[in-house]
């Protein structure tokens, strides 16, 4: 085989770099579409005040269930 342009290492690196940059740009646009979608859930309502009375008490507030997808 001759040492043509298609066989040179520089041409392969240039093609691979250009392809990688194009794929990265598409990934950024795809991710930005997800971030800007209207399907995002609304923010949770503000939490009510929780107080603890006593010398050695602790006030704990929150949902006792783990977030979805954690288990």
Q: What is the pLDDT along the chain (71 residues), one digit of tens a residue?
A: 445 555 678 888 999 999 999 999 999 988 887 777 666 677 777 777 777 788 888 877 776 666 676 65
pLDDT of residue 18: 95
pLDDT of residue 56: 86
pLDDT of residue 24: 95
pLDDT of residue 48: 74
Contact 10, 3 (CB under 8 A): no
Rounded distance between C-alpha atoms, residue 14 and residue 20, angstroms? 10
């Amino acid at each position: 085989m001759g040492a043509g342009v298609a066989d040179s290492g520089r041409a392969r690196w240039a093609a691979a770099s250009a392809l990688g940059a194009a794929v990265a740009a598409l990934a950024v646009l795809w991710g930005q579409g997800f971030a800007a979608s209207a399907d995002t859930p609304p923010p949770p309502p503000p939490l009510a005040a929780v107080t603890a009375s006593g010398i050695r008490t602790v006030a704990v507030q929150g949902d006792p269930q783990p977030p979805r997808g954690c288990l």
